[in-house]
């Protein structure tokens, strides 16, 4: 399924039904009074967060969500039928904003959470309501009120405990496929992962945490280089970042330069992101060129007050230690 994390949609609630102008017409009752019933209420448009949806794809192709109008009143004091509400299912983690003003209206971060985006109009009153001692035959009734209508911006921010960040081809997808049941695309070229992936990592006593594989950043991402920083919003909700580094690509590269470059991009996007705790890990130690540099890289990070965790996502070496550190920091 195509991953869509933004959608612009138009919502319109139902109009209230009109009140009825009616008079009793009964045999042997020469002076029948007004008996026009009220109109029914229009349907609301309600968003509901559900686990079964993982993308905003459905709304990308169905951008108009319109609830039904209320029924009109009729004679004999019969009230028109109120329309059913229109429920729109969205993924957990969906943020709803007013498209024109950018105002955040709702953050559906829990399963089952709802938000009434547009309220249906109230039905108009029938002429039976307007009888007075001086005006016993009112020949008018109210029209139903119009339902609310808005253009909304929907934005999905994935809910995960851990977000994996790093350059393209650093081994993020291989790591998440090793520790969870997620099956991201893995290949030996940059930008293999072009959409975020979620995986559930289970550990002792039936406990688990959710980990998100965020597509790779590059230097200048905040200026639009590569895929830009459009997926970084998905790490804003995470409690912890796993920063995976790969120094096998270029002979002269080093882990500290990679580390600072990615953090610079985080800062440009949202300065609060670099305040999140990071577990820094050096991948591909199964390769000879990386193995030779491990001690030097670990020592450099130690001088900076940061623990660097060497591991190999391919062979599994060091992965258990990283998972233990993640569990320690989450608990």
Instruction: Kindly report, residue by residue over 2-58, the tens digit of the pLDDT.
Output: 567 789 999 999 999 999 999 887 776 666 789 999 999 999 999 999 988 878 888
Backbone angles phi, psi at 86, to 5 degrees: -100, 115
Q: What is the pLDDT of residue 219?
A: 60
Helices marked H in 152-287 — which ranges?
A: 172-179, 255-269
Contacts of 107 (CB under 8 A, 6+ apart): 94, 95, 96
Task: Report H helices in 89-247.
Answer: 172-179
Distance of CA 4 to the CA centre of its chain: 10
Q: What is the pLDDT of residue 190?
A: 40
Q: Which residue has the tokens 């969906």?
A: 94
Taking the CB of residue 195, how many other CB atoms lie within 10 A of it? 18
Query: What residue spans in the chain does CATH classification 3.40.50.300 cover?
Result: 162-330
Q: Angle of helix 294-303 relative to helix 255-269, nearest 10 degrees?
A: 50
Q: What are the Cα distances from residue 316, in Å, to 179, 312, 322?
A: 9, 5, 11
At 302-316, the pLDDT tens digits run 999 999 999 999 999
For the chain, give every residue range classified as CATH 2.70.210.12: 6-156
- What is the reported pLDDT for 188? 44
pLDDT at site 248: 87
What is the per-residue pLDDT for 96?
Answer: 96
The arrangement of secondary structure in 6-156, i.e. its CATH architecture, is Distorted Sandwich (2.70)
Q: For the chain, what is the mean pLDDT?
A: 86
pLDDT, residue 302, reads 95
CA distances for 330 relative to 182, 186, 213, angstroms: 20, 27, 17
Residue stretches of the chain with pLDDT short of 50: 1, 184-194, 221, 225-228
User: Among the residues of the chain, which ranges form H helices?
Assistant: 57-61, 172-179, 255-269, 288-291, 294-303, 319-330
What is this structure's pTM?
Answer: 0.71
- Rounded Cα–Cα distance for residues 128 and 77 (Å): 8
Level-2 CATH architecture, domain 162-330: 3-Layer(aba) Sandwich (3.40)
Rounded CA separation 65/290 (Å): 54
All residues at 6 or more sequence positions from 282 whose CB lies less than 8 Å from its CB, including other chains: 245, 246, 247, 255, 290, 294, 297, 298, 308, 309, 310, 311
């Amino acid at each position: 399924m195509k991953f869509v994390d933004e959608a612009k949609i138009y919502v319109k609630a139902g109009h209230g039904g009109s009140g009825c102008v009616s008079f009793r017409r009964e045999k042997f009752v020469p002076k029948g009074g007004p008996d026009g019933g009220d109109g029914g209420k229009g349907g609301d448009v309600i968003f509901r967060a559900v686990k079964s949806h993982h993308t905003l794809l459905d709304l990308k192709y169905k951008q108009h969500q319109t609830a039904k109008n209320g029924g009109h009143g009729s004679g004999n004091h019969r009230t028109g039928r109120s329309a059913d509400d229109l429920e729109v299912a969205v993924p957990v983690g969906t943020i709803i904003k007013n498209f024109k003003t950018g105002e955040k209206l709702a953050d559906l971060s829990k399963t089952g959470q709802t938000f009434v985006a547009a309220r249906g109009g109230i039905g108009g009153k029938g002429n039976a309501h307007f009888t007075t001692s001086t005006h016993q035959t009112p020949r008018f009734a109210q029209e139903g009120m119009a339902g609310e209508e808005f253009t909304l911006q929907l934005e999905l921010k994935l809910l995960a405990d851990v977000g994996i960040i790093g350059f393209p081809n650093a081994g993020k997808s291989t790591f998440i496929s090793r520790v969870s049941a997620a099956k991201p695309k893995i290949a030996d070229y940059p930008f293999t992962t072009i959409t975020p992936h979620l995986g559930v990592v289970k550990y002792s006593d039936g406990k688990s945490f959710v980990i998100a594989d965020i597509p790779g950043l590059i230097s200048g991402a905040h200026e639009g280089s590569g895929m830009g920083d459009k997926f970084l919003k998905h790490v804003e909700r995470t409690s912890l970042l796993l920063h995976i580094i790969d120094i096998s690509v270029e002979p002269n590269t080093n882990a500290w330069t990679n580390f600072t470059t990615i953090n610079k991009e985080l800062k440009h996007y949202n300065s609060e992101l670099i305040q999140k705790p990071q577990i820094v890990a050096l991948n591909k130690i199964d390769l000879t060129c990386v193995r030779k540099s491990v001690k030097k890289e670990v020592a450099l990070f130690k001088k900076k007050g940061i623990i660097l965790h060497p591991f190999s996502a391919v062979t599994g070496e060091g992965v258990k230690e990283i998972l233990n550190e993640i569990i320690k920091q989450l608990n």
